Structure 1
Amino acid sequence: MLIGEYRHNIDSKGRLIVPAKFRNILGDNLIVTRGLDGCLFGYSLDQWQKIQTKIEELPVNRKDARTFTRFFFSAATDCDFDKQGRINLPDLLINYAGLNKKCVLVGLSDRVEIWSEEKWNSFTEETESKFEDIAEDLLDL
């Protein structure tokens, strides 16, 4: 299970360290694509295949399904870990997520989210005040 929040810098070549705790779970690589809310989603190969199967079941005759599929898959990149535990993100994904230097990698059970530190801080500040209401609406813990 992928959990936790880690802060790392992305360098000028688009290389970003993935925490060792994540790499131990993910294997040799990470499939990264456009995510929601302005971040990137990263999946292990096994999890990616599950997501792919679900998306393939979307009805091709629905415009929203075609649009989502195109946007999601067209940016997907298979990122191998180098000897330092880094992945190399393409400019397309860096620009989409607004990554410039400081990044936050967040483990969310079955995926990794990659955020610019600025967007992540904004998200957490906004969410902090609503967290209890959201939990009350969604969960019965």
Structure 2
Amino acid sequence: MGDFYTKGKRCMFMGEYNHTIDIKGRLIIPSKFREVLGDEFVVTKGLDGCLFVFANPEWHVFEEKLKVLPLTNKDARKFTRFFLAGAASVEVDKQGRILLPGVLREFAELEKDVVLVGVANRIEIWNREKWEENTAFDDMDDIAEHMSDLGLGI
């Protein structure tokens, strides 16, 4: 269950896929996601303990935003380091798999069962147990009430 759509060079990912990582650290990327990502894209540390996956055009947009953060701001430096130090360009093999670098697998505690989730302009890769813990969605009514403060009116 999942899908995506593209608008110009910007892309939109959605859906949830369950997969496994093999003993060598390889992960199959769902074909629907590969159609947008292409043969090479960027994987980096994400927030909430997952990994973020960006198509190259989206990664370049994100990099540009990081470049303009003030070097004199300590939080901006940490934020930039967090995303760039762990970033890796990965290539899809003939079987539709990528090799996730060990440092990224360790960060996200990815050992076997994982969930790939399309989240607007990126894909998140989660340890399945963490995904289930973090997505109880019990408090969605409360969260939805506060989204208008962020400019999202439904």
The interval holding the TM-score normalised by the smaller chain is over 0.9
Distance 1:99 1:84 in 2: 20
1:87 aligns with 2:98: yes
1:16 aligns with 2:27: yes
What SS does the aligned partner of 2:24 have?
coil
Bigger fraction of residues in strand: 2
TM-score, length-normalised on structure 2? Answer: 0.88
Counterpart of 2:142, as a letter, is D
TM-score, length-normalised on structure 1? Answer: 0.96
Cα drift, residue 36 of structure 1 = 0.3
Counterpart of 1:70, as a letter, is R
1:106 aligns with 2:117: yes
Cα drift, residue 30 of structure 1 = 2.2
Residue number in structure 2 paired with 1:2: 13
Counterpart of 2:141, as a letter, is E
Residue number in structure 2 paired with 1:134: 143
**Structure 1 gap segments, 5+ residues each:** none
1:122 aligns with 2:130: no
1:38 aligns with 2:80: no
% of aligned pairs identical?
51
Kindly provide the CA deviation profile for residues 51-96 of structure 1, in whole angstroms up to 9, marking residues without a partner as x. 0000000000111111111121011000111111111001100000
Task: State how many pairs are aligned.
Answer: 139
User: What root-mean-square deviation, in Å, do the aligned CA atoms of Structure 1 and Structure 2 show?
Assistant: 0.8
Distance 1:48 1:64 in 2: 21
Which structure would you say has the larger RCO, counting Cα contacts within 8 Å and 6 or more residues apart? Answer: 1
